[in-house]
Structure formats: C-alpha cells, structure tokens
C-alpha cells in the first residue's frame, strides 16, 4: 500500500526519480499551487479522501499525507 501510494504520488507530480516518505514535498523543485491540486485530485480519485486546507497546512512530509489517508479511510 505504501509503495503504491509513493508510485501514485510520483506519477501525479511527473517526478521520474520517485518520492520518499520522508520527503518534505513543499521543497520539491516543481512544487506549486497546481501540484497541490494534482495531489488532492489523486488522493480523491484513488482513496476517496478529501484533504481540507486546515489539515493540509499542518502536513510537511509525504508520509503526513499518507497517514491522513489511512486515518480517514479506516
């Protein structure tokens, strides 16, 4: 599940080198407001989870997003 999530995350951002759980996603060179929408959309499509702005503001790493999805879909 973790591996698939990382794969989907990297694909959404078109990041060929892949992503890691501990990455601070806001530090990615290509990260911008559009990337955010792409990730929100991927999470909604693949996991049926919506991340609201308040929760998102507190997220720093790829893992934070993954754990939010796990918590929401539990």
* By CB under 8 A, residue 29 contacts other proteins: no
- Of 1, 4, 17, 34, which lies in the binding site for other proteins, with binding defined by CB under 8 A? 34
Measured in residues, the chain has a length of 74
Binding residues with other proteins: total (CB under 8 A): 14
**DSSP string across 14-62:** T-TT---TT-BGGGSTT-SHHHHHHHHHHHHHHH-----HHHHHT--BH
- Of 2, 7, 24, 50, which lies in the binding site for other proteins, with binding defined by CB under 8 A? 50
> HSE (CB half, 13 Å, CA atoms) of 22?
0
- Of 33, 58, 73, 74, which lies in the binding site for other proteins, with binding defined by CB under 8 A? 33
Residues that bind other proteins (CB under 8 A): 32-34, 36-38, 40-41, 44, 50-53, 56
């Amino acid at each position: 599940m973790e591996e698939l999530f990382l794969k989907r995350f990297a694909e959404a951002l078109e990041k060929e080198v892949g992503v890691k759980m501990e990455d601070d996603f806001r530090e990615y060179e290509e990260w911008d407001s559009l990337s955010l929408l792409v990730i929100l959309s991927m999470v909604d499509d693949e996991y049926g989870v919506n991340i609201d702005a308040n929760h998102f503001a507190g997220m720093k790493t790829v893992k934070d997003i993954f754990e939010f999805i796990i918590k929401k879909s539990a």
